[in-house]
Copies of this chain bind each other. A is one copy, B any other.
């Protein structure tokens, strides 16, 4: 039973055709159009049709969609889709291909892909974090995606920490790429510490990361601060899930040891017992841009076999 997989992403829409054994046989992609549901969905379906071999029909379709509640089959006010509200994307795709559709969000499907083919292969439990514009996550427990009661589980970006000034902030507001960019801007405005970032037109997570990689002291400090918060979040996840493997993906993870060394220092300092840790516990994500296509294919197969 061949599987059609669709990754309806914020900037690109990808589609792939998978064999029975989930080998990727065809693949295509195009920019995700901007607009309102009917036209955008029609275009997404058109991109997907390109990978379906002539005369064939998928046994199931896996769809990766934005927003924590994608498991409902609806797109509920995703931040990247202004004007979309409870759009029944799964149903619209099901009608187009006349076949069952199984939809989930990107972090959950990335977790599933890394579990089957990537850096968390066979781990139980396997945790996946994406640290990028925001922070998302997914968990595989006993080989299956864990999504909780209403499909909302594993939102590590929403772990809350009190700051020294009494405010309470989300991990996402402290350790994401967005947070790194904002914190750098605050530091530049607050003081007169020299920094290459003072000559940048745009100070954001990406440019702060580049400056940090080139040894800029202010950028390094901002990245290290984010890494320490990330580490405190990981300490929480380790005490609650006792994972065998944690895979970290997303643009911030590509900073490597600049962000992971401070995180590891927090883990070493605040983990209750070394039994919770393992030198081989934390990995960077191994699958690239196709991670959600792969995850959606595995998800559709698992769900359609139930």
Contact across chains for B242 and A148 when beta carbons are under 8 A apart: yes
Task: Name which of A232-240, A254-262, A292-300 contacts chain B.
Answer: A232-240
Contact of A236 among B124, B153, B236 (CB under 8 A): B236
For chain A, the bracket of interface size reads: 35 or more
| Contacts A/B (CB < 8 Å), 21 sampled | A68-B273, A69-B275, A123-B149, A124-B149, A125-B149, A141-B141, A141-B146, A147-B242, A148-B241, A148-B242, A148-B243, A149-B243, A150-B276, A152-B273, A154-B240, A155-B272, A159-B239, A160-B235, A168-B269, A170-B272, A240-B241
Name the B residues within 8 Å of A232 (CB-CB): 160, 162, 168
Closest to A139 in B: B240
A91 at the interface (CB under 8 A from B): no
Assess A242 versus B160: contact at CB under 8 Å? Given A270-B168, A272-B155.
no
Name the B residues within 8 Å of A124 (CB-CB): 149
CB distance from A302 to the nearest CB of B (A): 14
Contact across chains for B152 and A276 when beta carbons are under 8 A apart: yes
**A104-140 Cβ-contact flags toward B at 8 Å (1 or 0):** 0000000000000000000111000000000000000
**A82-116 Cβ-contact flags toward B at 8 Å (1 or 0):** 00000000000000000000000000000000000
Name the B residues within 8 Å of A162 (CB-CB): 161-164, 232
Closest to A235 in B: B160
Name the B residues within 8 Å of A166 (CB-CB): 164
Contact of A240 among B69, B159, B163 (CB under 8 A): B159
Name the B residues within 8 Å of A270 (CB-CB): 160, 168
A156 at the interface (CB under 8 A from B): yes
A12 at the interface (CB under 8 A from B): no
A303 at the interface (CB under 8 A from B): no
Q: Which residue, of A148, A159, A235, A237, has the highest number of chain B Cβ atoms within 10 A?
A: A148
CB distance from A22 to the nearest CB of B (A): 24
Contact of A152 among B123, B149, B275 (CB under 8 A): B275
A160–B272 Cα gap in the complex (Å)? 10
Question: Which chain A residues in 261-306 approach chain B with CB under 8 Å?
Answer: 269-270, 272-273, 275-276
CB distance from A226 to the nearest CB of B (A): 14
Contact of A155 among B69, B151, B164, B240 (CB under 8 A): B240
Name the B residues within 8 Å of A150 (CB-CB): 242, 275-276
A244 at the interface (CB under 8 A from B): yes
